[in-house]
């Protein structure tokens, strides 16, 4: 029979048991402390995830409107096509690849590789497809009874006018974040805040809707109302496109239209541009073909370079030597400081010596004696060297700063470059001389535009901007952007003188290609050699600044033509006609009515009245009242046909041929009237039985014809009006 444990033994056993219980209890306490305190948030989150499901509600990105509330960018529902290979039978791989490839525009091999990832439930095949494509995918999956093809609702940015203002608007990435342009600059306003749906889950992990569901609504992004006017933007883009084609422009053309008093940008463009709905596709066919011929890293590098080039906004991101357009700054500063006046006369011998360096005028033999106003119209470098000398380094650099050249403008676009401008310590006599006529310093076009506008708007440097208002999804104004005056640079009196001088440049100087009948236009041309060009031969940037009405400026245009391969390099020849054409469209659109001189009235076109089926005497009287002559063909008393026809435009004093007998119109052959003076063109057309309608710079001075509305050799009715554009192709060296 076993002995009972002794008292000491029982005591030891109780102590051991107590220790075991104590250790267990302490371990339990420590474990609870770890679970509830140290790891509490982790397990709380896991429990919530098991008990709750969370679904994100995408916020709609805000819309971008022009100033008249025309939609320029908006978000629309799109779908992402996703495969779940783990749910797809291997026998369906080939069918899926061959079926989806043509629908989605994706290589079959790409889809096949996705199908082979058999442990995956999420393989993206194509993002942001539209409803039509999505419906085709659904139909394919349904018709073939295939599982594992899923569509996830998303949103896609849509630009209804494709390449309209592409370098200004910018575009978004696959995550709807702005990447360039206004889309990037105002991304935080446009984005919006995603919403959330929280649903309780039962023990089997199934969502329980209704009373167990909580929704936090998404807040749609705010929208932008721009200062851009769709009509004026179209005018600008159209004329830049014509210039690029006509002059074989190698490094693109750019332009900006601005309200001189408020700083509102009415239009801004760089041409050629690109399609905002396909921003990663290279728009230039030649460049695209060159890239497609490459492989590997070389292809990737070239593609990236080409994409960044086409996305680049020349107006804010390129720096250049402005050439003679900058002379506006020099002569306005000289007038403001009182070191020059309209009464001053100068003498140009064709060059000027500055500290042993010879600086030439574009006119080799010199201009001789000339007044201040004539010197600006002649764009005479020696006179501007003298104006710079009279100002001196300190005053000259003071105006560089005052006009905004030593800092960025702060325009609401990403990627604005800082100009490279000399300070007083860097500027000796030679540097001062070259800077005075627009060389040596490098600035951005937007800096030049804001400075030139300040010179003509009363002297006020205003903040350029592209957005008028930010509004919420209900149309309430979140933020407004009005006129911001930074400072007054010159007096109103000096500014009025600047306007007078610039108007004389167009009427009497080298800017005659900017002339518009009925409007007082002021302007200044510029031509600058690209000294840092990698080309073996010289290349130039031709530019022109124009404003109107010259007696009370409202809008201004700056045009740049970069590296034209044409019959001229000068801004007065290449850029001035572009600025003129934009203003000719924009001014009447803005309600600025023409005021014709008596000479201009005499040359205005007349709309041909309808005199067909009228009695001959009545028809002659009607034409006479319209300022037109009549030529009668036939012996009848009733007008059976007329040339030109009713509604066509003919020059005042033109002739309408009236046919009074049955038969065919007399046909004539159109002659070649290109590269001729006005008198020569008129003589050739008259001899051919045709009439002349003049457009462009007119037929005065040294203008020559550059285009005709009907090609040489065409057969047209006698009396037809041929429209011929004239341009001063000589210009000056700006």
Quick check: 258 and 277 in contact, CB under 8 A? no
* DSSP letter for each residue of 622-663: HHHHTT-EEEEESS-SB--EEESPTT-EEETT-EEEEE-SSS
* DSSP letter for each residue of 466-496: SEEEEE-TTS-EEEE----EEEE-S-HHHHH
- pLDDT digit string, tens, across residues 257-286: 999 999 999 999 999 999 999 999 999 999
Can you read off the two tokens belonging to residue 410?
A: 């702060």
What's the pLDDT at 41?
Answer: 64
Decide if pLDDT at 447 tops 60: yes
* DSSP letter for each residue of 401-447: HHTTTTS----SSTTPPPPB---GGG--HHHHHHHHTT-S-BB-HHH
Quick check: 691 and 685 in contact, CB under 8 A? yes
Instruction: Catalogue the active-site residues.
Output: 324
Mean pLDDT calculated for residue range 549-571? 96
Mean pLDDT (the chain, rounded)? 91
Pick the residue with more confidence: 476 or 175? 476
Percent of the chain at pLDDT above 70? 91
Quick check: 248 and 564 in contact, CB under 8 A? yes
What's the pLDDT at 148?
Answer: 92
318: exposed, middle or buried (Cβ count in 10 Å: 0-12, 13-18, 19+): buried
- pLDDT digit string, tens, across residues 465-514: 999 999 999 999 999 999 999 999 999 999 999 999 999 999 998 899 99
Quick check: 673 and 684 in contact, CB under 8 A? yes
Quick check: 316 and 415 in contact, CB under 8 A? yes
- Band (pLDDT 50/70/90 cuts) for residue 206 is very low
- pLDDT digit string, tens, across residues 574-612: 999 999 999 999 999 999 999 998 888 888 889 999 999
How many other CB atoms sit within 10 Å of the CB of residue 619? 23
Give the phi and the psi of residue 21 in degrees, each rounded to 5. Answer: -65, -40
- Band (pLDDT 50/70/90 cuts) for residue 154 is confident
Mean pLDDT calculated for residue range 557-575? 96
Decide if pLDDT at 47 tops 70: no
664: exposed, middle or buried (Cβ count in 10 Å: 0-12, 13-18, 19+): exposed
- pLDDT digit string, tens, across residues 113-152: 999 999 888 899 998 898 999 999 999 999 999 989 999 8
Decide if pLDDT at 78 tops 50: yes
* DSSP letter for each residue of 231-287: HHHHHHHHHHHHHHHHTTBSS-EEEEEEETTT-BEEEEEEES---TTSTTS---HHH
- Band (pLDDT 50/70/90 cuts) for residue 205 is very low
Whether cis (ω within 30° of 0) applies to the bond prior to 170 is: no
What's the pLDDT at 6?
Answer: 66
Quick check: 491 and 459 in contact, CB under 8 A? yes
Quick check: 244 and 542 in contact, CB under 8 A? no
- Band (pLDDT 50/70/90 cuts) for residue 337 is very high
Residues in the chain: 734
CA dist 367 and 340 (Å) reads: 19
**Can you tell me whether residue 288 is helix, strand or coil?**
helix
| Alpha-carbon radius of gyration of the chain | 37
Quick check: 99 and 144 in contact, CB under 8 A? yes
Percent of the chain at pLDDT above 90? 77
Per the DSSP assignment, residues forming a β-bridge with 370 are 346
Can you read off the two tokens belonging to residue 109?
A: 């091999």
Domains of the chain and CATH, by start: 56-63+74-160+208-221 (3.90.1310.10), 316-595 (3.40.710.10), 604-727 (3.30.10.20)
Identify the H or E element spanning 101.
Answer: helix 93-104
423: exposed, middle or buried (Cβ count in 10 Å: 0-12, 13-18, 19+): exposed
Identify the H or E element spanning 541.
Answer: strand 540-548
CA dist 24 and 18 (Å) reads: 10
Quick check: 385 and 433 in contact, CB under 8 A? yes
Mean pLDDT calculated for residue range 156-171? 97
Q: What proportions of the chain, in percent to the nearest 5, are helix, strand and coil? A: 35, 25, 40
Mean pLDDT calculated for residue range 56-65? 85
- Band (pLDDT 50/70/90 cuts) for residue 425 is very high
DSSP at 34: I
CA dist 564 and 579 (Å) reads: 16
- Band (pLDDT 50/70/90 cuts) for residue 630 is very high
Can you read off the two tokens belonging to residue 554?
A: 């409202």
DSSP at 726: E
CA dist 54 and 57 (Å) reads: 10
The lowest-confidence range among 381-385, 483-487, 531-535, 617-621 is 531-535
CA dist 693 and 689 (Å) reads: 14
Mean pLDDT calculated for residue range 391-396? 98
Decide if pLDDT at 305 tops 70: yes
CA dist 513 and 698 (Å) reads: 9
Quick check: 411 and 167 in contact, CB under 8 A? no
């Amino acid at each position: 029979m076993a002995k009972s444990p002794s008292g000491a033994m029982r005591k030891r056993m109780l102590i051991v048991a107590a220790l075991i219980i104590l250790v267990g209890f302490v371990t339990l306490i420590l474990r609870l402390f770890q679970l509830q305190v140290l790891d509490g948030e982790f397990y709380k989150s896991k429990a919530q995830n098991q008990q709750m499901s969370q679904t994100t509600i995408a916020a709609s990105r805000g819309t971008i409107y022009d100033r008249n509330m025309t939609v320029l960018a908006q978000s629309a529902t799109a779908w992402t096509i996703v495969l779940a290979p783990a749910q797809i039978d291997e026998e369906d791989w080939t069918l899926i690849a061959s079926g989806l490839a043509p629908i989605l525009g994706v290589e079959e091999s790409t889809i096949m590789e996705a199908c082979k990832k058999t442990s995956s439930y999420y393989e993206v095949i194509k993002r942001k497809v539209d409803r039509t494509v999505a419906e085709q995918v659904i139909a394919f999956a349904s018709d073939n009874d295939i599982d594992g093809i899923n569509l996830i609702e998303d949103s896609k940015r849509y630009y209804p006018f494709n390449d309209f203002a592409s370098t200004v608007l910018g575009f978004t990435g696959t995550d709807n974040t702005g990447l360039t342009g206004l889309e990037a600059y105002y991304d935080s306003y446009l984005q919006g805040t995603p919403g959330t749906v929280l649903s309780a889950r039962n023990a089997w992990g199934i969502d329980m809707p209704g009373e167990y569901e909580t929704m936090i609504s998404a807040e749609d992004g705010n929208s932008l109302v721009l200062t851009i006017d769709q009509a004026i933007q179209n005018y600008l883009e159209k004329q830049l496109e014509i210039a690029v084609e006509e002059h074989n422009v190698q490094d693109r053309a750019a332009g900006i239209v601005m309200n001189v008093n408020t700083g509102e940008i009415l239009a801004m463009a760089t041409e050629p541009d690109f399609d905002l709905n396909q921003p990663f596709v290279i728009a230039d066919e030649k460049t695209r073909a060159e890239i497609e011929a490459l492989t590997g890293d070389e292809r990737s590098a070239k593609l990236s370079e080409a994409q960044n080039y086409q996305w680049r906004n020349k107006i804010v991101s390129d720096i250049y030597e402005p050439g003679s357009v900058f002379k506006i700054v020099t002569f306005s500063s000289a007038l403001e400081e009182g070191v020059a006046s309209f009464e001053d006369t100068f003498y140009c011998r064709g060059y000027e010596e500055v500290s042993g360096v010879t600086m030439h005028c574009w006119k080799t033999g010199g201009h001789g004696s000339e007044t201040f106003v004539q010197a600006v119209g002649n764009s005479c470098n020696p006179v501007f060297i003298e104006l710079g000398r009279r100002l001196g380094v300190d005053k000259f650099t003071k105006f560089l700063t005052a006009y905004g050249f030593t800092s960025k403008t702060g325009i609401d676009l990403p990627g604005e470059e800082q100009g490279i401008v000399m300070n007083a310590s860097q500027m000796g006599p030679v540097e001062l001389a070259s800077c005075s006529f627009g060389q040596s310093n490098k600035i951005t076009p937007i800096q030049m535009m804001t400075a030139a506008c300040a010179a003509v708007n009363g002297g006020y440097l205003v903040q350029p901007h592209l957005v008028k208002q930010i509004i919420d999804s209900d149309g309430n104004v979140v933020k407004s952007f009005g006129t911001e005056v930074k400072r007054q640079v010159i007096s109103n009196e000096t500014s009025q003188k600047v306007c007078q001088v610039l108007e004389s440049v167009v009427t009497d100087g080298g800017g005659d290609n900017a002339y518009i009948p009925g409007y007082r236009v002021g302007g200044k041309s510029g031509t600058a050699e690209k000294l840092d060009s990698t080309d073996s031969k010289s290349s130039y940037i031709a530019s022109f600044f124009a404003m109107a009405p010259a007696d009370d400026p409202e809008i201004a245009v700056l045009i740049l033509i970069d590296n034209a391969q044409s019959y001229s390099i000068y801004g007065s020849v290449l850029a001035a006609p572009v600025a003129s054409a934009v203003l000719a469209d924009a001014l009447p659109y803005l309600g600025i009515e023409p005021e014709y001189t008596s000479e201009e009235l005499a040359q205005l076109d007349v709309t041909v009245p309808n005199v067909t089926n009228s009695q001959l005497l009545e028809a002659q009287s009607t034409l006479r009242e319209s300022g037109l002559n009549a030529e009668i063909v036939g012996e009848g008393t009733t007008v059976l046909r007329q040339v030109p026809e009713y509604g066509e435009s003919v020059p005042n004093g033109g002739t309408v041929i009236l046919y009074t007998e049955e038969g065919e119109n007399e046909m004539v052959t159109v002659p070649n009237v290109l590269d001729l003076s006005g008198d020569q063109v008129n003589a050739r057309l008259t001899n051919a039985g045709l009439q002349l309608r003049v457009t462009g710079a007119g037929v005065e001075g040294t203008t020559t014809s550059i285009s005709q509305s009907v090609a040489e050799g065409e057969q047209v009715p006698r009396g037809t009006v041929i429209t011929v554009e004239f341009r001063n192709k000589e210009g000056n060296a700006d």
